[in-house]
Amino acid sequence: MSSRGERIPEILAGFLTVLVLLVLYAPVLVSALFSVVTIQRGTILWETFSLSSYATLWSNSSVLQALANTAIVAIASAAAALLFGIALAFYTRSENAIGRRSIEVLIYLPFLLPPIVTGLSLLVTTSALGVGRGLFTVIIGHTIFVLAVAYRLVSTRLAALPPSLLEASADLGASRWQTLRYVLLPHLASSIVTGAILALTLSFDETLISTFVAGDQMTLPLRLWAMMRVGFTPEINALVTLVLITSIALALLAAWRLKPSWSEADSSD
Amino acid sequence: MALELVGIRKNYDRLEVLPPLDLSIVDGEFLTLLGPSGSGKTTVLRIIGGFARPSGGQLMFDETDITDLPANRRPFNTVFQDYALFPHMTVRDNVGYGPLVQRRDPARSARLVSETLAIVGLAAMEQRYPSQLSGGQRQRVALARAIVCEPKVILLDEPLAALDASLRRQMQLFLKDIQRQIKTTFVFVTHDQEEAITMSDRIAVMNGGRIEQLGSPRDLYFQPKTKFVATFFGDNNIVEGVLAPGAGEVDTPLGRLPIDRRGMPAIEGRCIVAVRPERMRIGGENGAAIAGQVAEVVFSGPMTRILVAPAAAPELRLDVRLSSDAGQPPPQVGERVTVVFDPSDAVVVPG
Amino acid sequence: MTGHAKRWLLFAVVAALPVLFILLPIASFLITSFFRVEGGVILADPNLSNYGAFFGNWTYLGTFLGTLWLCLQVVLLSIALGYPVAWFIWRRSGTVRYALLLLAVMPLFMSYIVKLYTLRAMLGLNGLLNQMLVGIGFLDGPSQFFLFNQRAVLITMTVIYLPFVILPIFLSLERIPRGLLSASADLGAGAFDTFRRIVLPLSLPGTIAGGLFAFVLALGDFVTPQMVGGTTGFTIGRVIWSQFGLAYNWPFGSAISAVLLAVALLIIGLGGYAASRRRV
Ligand SMILES: Nc1ncnc2c1ncn2[C@@H]1O[C@H](COP(=O)(O)OP(=O)(O)OP(=O)(O)O)[C@@H](O)[C@H]1O
Ligand SMILES: [Mg+2]
């Protein structure tokens, strides 16, 4: 029941939406194209189509090393962030926990502040403490960065749990441990899975904090950055495409998990 | 005739929600749409308000066709079920919104808004935000917002549903009072039959998208035309039977019951006999008599309810209401009694 | 042990992680900002010389103010583009709406460095943008207009941070009960009045939140200007980064970051205040 007054703005906004989406996706599409064909003076040379650049990637040991590092960092920091996120969410759940608000502010801080601040503050600290920089410090940096997301998801879910459920469980004779095992964890399961996917996605892509604390280790984004300073090669494009496919897959997974109810229930007349 | 629905239909895809429906709403009346959940009351109201487009038919107002007029150009205002107050505006701004967007004269509007706020008793709270009001107060803001533009028709969709029982009764009287003051047509939706009886000039009983019966509360109560109205509207003793053409008696599981055919439509074959509990007596002469045994006695303040299991069909229960201070003590459970009613109090509708 | 002591012990255990890994680092870089470097060694000799050097030298202060102005432009451009997009998506229904939202938000998760790389390729002399503009006859030949300058940083940051703006705007539009729009129309408001008086004010908190998010992210971004900014696209992020790299002056870099942090906190605080002023 859109009236006449809304038709024209709607058409204009529609145009803009298409345009914006094209601009947002052009980088993705273009790099995917560059990775398999050569483009000269604006014409695509289809006969140059080849997947060879993908093949050479597999023999590039520095890329493989960076990939392995990224996987280690992503998994370790997601696991750590979830573990701490759950513990912190349990703590801040109780209204009269000491320092509840301050702890929350601290948790959200690294997510809200420019990553450069988080990165350099970790750099300064590790150096002052004499801790060597490497994968371990990258894991710490990523953990505190994604902690906010993990904590947020778990604590929201926890808040949705009626306290009477826990009382009922205790009333039925469950020990605290059993309540945790049979009531709380199943209730939190979905938020934990979503949190893990989001944490992996964020860590996979994290660049700004990593540059400060990686030392001589390389994660995939850092490797890419280093390669790009050298120049454009089909090999980079191939790697870029692989990275994009991975992050799109992760993003789709996250979107599917977070899919809100309004997309199904929607009145239309 | 102020507002007229002519053959209005509504389909959602394949689903027919309203079969062609005709309804004439008289100027200045309080008309209630009453019906169970899903019977199409909101749909009718949304079509009148202009929020839903009918799939067919015409909507006439003062002899002009307004079917295609958008909601913002209809001289009707709505009190929404969830009030739909603008959360970012004060009470005063909420009420003043209509005159503002209709570009009415600001000075006159300001006066009008103040007057309306006074009518609904919210003058002292005009600077508050909706979140700072109680349910009943929000309800009044919604009403004030709807009446301030002096619409020709006010549409109310279960406006009292969210209120507790006592506040609800208070608001019923208040609404009725306002309507008397401003003399505007009210189209009111509810599924509470008691509320409908208390407030309405006329009631349209809806069922499955159809209007089963339209009439004054008295008509509907004492002269139901269909089985649905007889059962939906107030408590009733209902028994199925068969009526021979022209006969003065109905064959029922309780035996032959005499009825009074005067003023009744010509019915024959399967039918339903309905008698109001308060029109039944225990013992006494002249009238239809049914023998039975008292199954339960329930004291409920002014009335005492006696449930009688008829001897002919012990699985049924006759509901009899006696005044609690009738002088004699009520019968005891297990006592054998005769339930008597006047044939002219029995209503017969097609079954 | 008393219940009181127990609660404090629990607090100490739980707070250890955020204090150790979040608070302590911030504190230590703030402390470092008062130190100084001499002969490649950091001296713990508290003084205000770093701040004096920053505020007293127009090169730095000017770059900082320029960066703030750049971020503001990024925000305004993102909102100008993002609001209509979010509004359009909000007006759709069912699957189309969900698909469009997904499309608009997914770039959030796509590799930042990859986007930079391909945008640089597209904005360059032989890039897609130049080829298109030459192709449609808008330019006679490829132009250096779009790369290695402040403009390139603005375009690139806007593309990268736009989804951060679209999402909160959409979410705040989504939170407007549909009944309010019906009520507005019912009271006689046309499409424009309803938009101006109901939709816009109620979606303002989300718009502000999105804008501030983009602002803070752009403020600290040092990779984008480095990749596409060339010599003129200099931002404060790059200055800080160079202090931790080639220039090797951590205390000075920390001092500039401290100013950055203060601005970011101020902006986050303003955003929180704006969002909390919404009454529902
Ligand atoms: N948008 C829609 N799409 C499909 N079916 C609908 C839609 N809106 C209403 N209906 C159907 O139309 C019928 C009538 O709905 P309506 O809301 O008018 O009922 P109602 O009498 O107001 O009920 P209630 O007392 O529960 O408010 C219902 O069966 C409902 O399921
Ligand atoms: Mg309804």
pLDDT tens digits for range C123-172: 887 777 887 888 888 888 888 888 888 889 999 999 999 999 999 999 99
CB-CB contact of B147 with B174 (8 Å): no
What contacts A43, CB < 8 A, 6 or more positions away? none
Residue B279: CB within 6 Å of ligand 1? no
Task: Answer whether C182 sits within 8 Å of B86, measured CB to CB.
Answer: no
Q: According to the 3-state scheme, what is the secondary structure of C202-258?
A: HHHHHHHHHHHHHHHHHHHCCHHHHHHCCCCCCCHHHHHHHHHCCCCCHHHHHHHHH
User: What tokens were used for A76?
Assistant: 């370790």
In three-state form (DSSP H/G/I as H, E/B as E, the rest C), the secondary structure along chain C is CCHHHHHHHHHHHHHHHHHHHHHHHHHHHHHHCCCEEECCEEECCCCCHHHHHHHHCHHHHHHHHHHHHHHHHHHHHHHHHHHHHHHHHHHCCHHHHHHHHHHHHHHHHCCHHHHHHHHHHHHCCCCHHHHHHHHCCCCCCCCHHHCCCHHHHHHHHHHHHHHHHHHHHHHHHHCCCHHHHHHHHHCCCCHHHHHHHHHHHHHHHHHHHHHHHHHHHHHHCCHHHHHHCCCCCCCHHHHHHHHHCCCCCHHHHHHHHHHHHHHHHHHHHHHHHHHHCCCC
Which of B324, B336, B230, B247 has the alpha carbon at shortest distance from B290?
Answer: B336
Nearest one of B13, B23, B145, B128 to B83, comparing CA atoms? B145
DSSP B23: E
CB C224 within 8 A of CB A39: no
Residue C71 has a pLDDT of 95
- Considering chain B, what is the average pLDDT of its residues? 89
For C56-86, the pLDDT digits (tens) are: 999 999 999 999 999 999 999 999 999 999 9
pLDDT at B263: 67
Interval C35-61 mean pLDDT: 87
Write out pLDDT tens, residues A182-235. Answer: 888 888 888 899 899 889 989 998 999 999 999 889 999 999 888 887 766 777
- Mean predicted confidence (pLDDT) in B100-105: 93
With a cut of 70, say whether residue B1 has pLDDT above it.
Answer: no
CB neighbours of B263 closer than 8 A, spacing ≥ 6?
Answer: none
The type of residue at B121 is G
Which residues 7-66 on chain C approach chain A with CB closer than 8 angstroms? Answer: 7-8, 10-11, 14-15, 17-19, 21-26, 28-29, 32
What is the distance in A from the centroid of ligand 1 to the CA of A263?
A: 20
- Checking if the pLDDT of C280 tops 60, the result is no
- Residue whose tokens read 């803070």: C216
Three-class SS of C95-111: HHHHHHHHHHHHHHHCC
Fill in the DSSP letter of residue C42.
E
A267 lines ligand 1 (CB under 6 A): yes
Nearest to A136, CA basis, from A216, A205, A251, A31: A216
pLDDT at residue A268 above 70? no
Angstrom distance (rounded) from CA C208 to CA C169:
8
Is the Cα dihedral C231, C232, C238, C239 positive or negative?
positive
Residues of B in contact with A269 (CB under 8 A): 12, 52-53
Tokens describing residue B293 = 């045994």
Res A42: pLDDT: 55
DSSP β-bridge partners for residue B340: B281, B289
Is the model more confident about B194 or about A35? Answer: B194
- Do the beta carbons of residue B124 and residue B115 sit within 8 Å? no
Residue B292 in contact with residue B299, Cβ under 8 Å?
A: no
How far does CA C114 lie from the centroid of its chain?
Answer: 18
The pLDDT value recorded for residue B2 is 83
> What's the average model confidence in pLDDT over B280-286?
81
Quick one: pLDDT at residue A260? 56
Chain C residues touching residue B77 (CB < 8 angstroms): 186-187
Q: What is the mean pLDDT of the segment spanning B128-156?
A: 92
| Number of C-beta neighbours around residue B110 at 10 A | 14
CB pairs under 8 A between A and C: 232
ipTM value = 0.88
- β-bridge partners, C49: none
pTM greater than 0.80 (yes/no): yes
Quote the CA–CA distance of B221 and C105 in Å, as a whole number: 59
Q: Please report, rounded to a whole number, the percentage of residues in chain A having pLDDT higher than 90.
A: 36
Dist. CA B217–CA B18, nearest whole Å: 24
Banded pLDDT at A41 (limits 50, 70, 90):
low
- pLDDT recorded at residue C27: 93
Q: B9 pairs with which residues across the strands?
A: B56
Shortest-distance Cα residue to atom 17 of ligand 1: B42
For residue B259, give every residue at least 6 positions away whose Cβ sits within 8 Å of its Cβ, in sequence order, or none: B248, B249, B250, B273, B343, B346, B348
Residue whose pair of structure tokens reads 């992760």 in the numeric block = A250
Amino acid at A259: K
Strand order in the sheet with B269-275: B255-258, B249-252, B237-243, B269-275, B347-350
**Distance to chain B for A4, nearest Cα, Å:** 10
For chain B, give the longest Cα–Cα distance: 75
CB spacing of C21 vs A248 below 8 angstroms:
no
Confidence of residue A5 (pLDDT cuts 50, 70, 90): low
Residue with tokens 């752009």: C218
CA distances from C218 to A85, A206, C122, C154, C221 (A): 27, 15, 21, 9, 5
Ligand with an atom nearest the CA of residue B43:
1
Cα radius of gyration (chain A): 23
